[in-house]
Structure formats: C-alpha cells, structure tokens
C-alpha cells in the first residue's frame, strides 16, 4: 500500500539536492523502511503520530534543541515508554550516522 509512495518519495529525494552515493549506506532507504511510517517521508509525522507527541523534525526549534549526539543516541537506544524503539540491533552504526545526517537535513517547508 505505502510501497509505491515510499519508493516515489525516495526517488524524489534522490533526484533533489542530496547526492546519492552508492558506497555509503543510503539513509533514505533506511528512513523509508524503518522510520517513515511514524515520521513521514520528510520528517513531519502523520496526524495520528503527531497526536501522540512525535515531534516535527523539520521544526527549527526542535533542531536547535538537539545535538547530533542526542539524535544518534535516541535512534540507537529509543525513547523509553514511547513507540520510538531502539534501532541499534537493526541498523549498523554507519546507517545510524547516515540517518542522523538525514534528520539534520530536514527543514521547514517553504
Ligand atoms: C512506531 C513509530 C516510530 C518509528 C518506526 C520511529 N519513530 Fe522516531 N519517534 C517516535 C515517537 C513516538 C517519538 C517521540 C518520543 C518521545 O516523545 O520521547 C519519536 C521521536 C523521534 C525523534 C525525536 C526525539 C527527540 O529527542 O525529540 C527522532 C530524531 C526520531 N524519532 C528518529 C527516528 C528514526 C531515525 C527512526 C527510524 C530508524 C524512527 N524515529 C522510527 C516513533 C517512531
């Protein structure tokens, strides 16, 4: 059901600003696979998740409140008592680093 839209989103992101290096783990694929359900294809959570307190990762205030280290730790270890699960068993360290960069690339829609 979501697969076409997800693929389209990945393709769109690849076609846009970011380079698509084959050698590095592709954060956009990891994002589409593991994160987009709850965080949206571009970091803005769908309404049902936003209502549960999932922050809009495009928000400049949110971005300024978090260090890369905190984002990395959150992806690796999750947020206890929420649906944000730890991903360190499912993603490599390089994939998590790539996801931190991807999260940092989210910006408010113009
Ligand atoms: C099942 C739903 C779900 C999935 C899948 C999910 N998240 Fe989350 N995420 C959440 C929720 C809920 C929160 C809010 C956690 C909280 O309030 O502490 C959150 C919060 C976050 C935050 C912000 C935390 C903060 O410090 O403000 C980041 C960054 C994040 N997730 C990244 C990711 C990444 C990267 C993935 C994929 C590897 C992912 N999430 C997958 C539900 C999810």
What the block records as the tokens of 83 is: 């649906």
CB of 87 within 8 A of CB of 78? yes
Compute, in angstroms, the gap from residue 35 CA to the centroid of ligand 1. 7
| 88 within ligand 1 shell (Cβ under 6 A) | no
The ligand 1 atom at the shortest distance from the C-alpha of residue 31 is: 37
The whole-angstrom separation of Cα 84 and Cα 35 is 9
pLDDT given for residue 108 in this prediction: 80
The CATH number of domain 3-105 is 3.30.930.10: no
Residue 90, pLDDT score: 96
For residue 93, the CA-to-ligand 1 centroid distance in Å is 17
Q: Is the CB of 66 under 6 A from ligand 1?
A: yes
Q: What is the pLDDT along the chain (110 residues), one digit of tens a residue?
A: 566 776 666 666 656 555 555 567 889 999 999 999 999 999 999 999 999 899 999 999 999 999 999 999 999 999 999 999 999 999 999 999 999 999 999 988 76
pTM score, whole prediction: 0.83
Is residue 98 helix, strand or coil? helix
Cα separation, 72 vs 32, whole angstroms: 18
For residue 74, the model assigns a pLDDT of 98
| Ligand 1 atom nearest to 90, measured from its CA | 38
Ligand 1 atom nearest to 103, measured from its CA? 29
């Amino acid at each position: 059901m979501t697969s076409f839209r997800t693929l389209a989103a990945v393709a769109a992101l690849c076609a846009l600003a970011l380079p698509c290096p084959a050698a590095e783990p592709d954060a956009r694929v990891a994002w589409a696979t593991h994160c987009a359900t709850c965080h949206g294809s571009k970091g803005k959570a769908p309404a049902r998740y936003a209502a549960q307190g999932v922050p809009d990762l495009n928000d400049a205030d949110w971005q300024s409140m978090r260090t890369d280290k905190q984002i990395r730790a959150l992806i690796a270890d999750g947020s206890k008592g929420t649906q944000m699960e730890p991903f360190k068993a499912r993603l490599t360290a390089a994939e998590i680093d790539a996801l931190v960069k991807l999260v940092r690339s989210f910006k408010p829609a113009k």
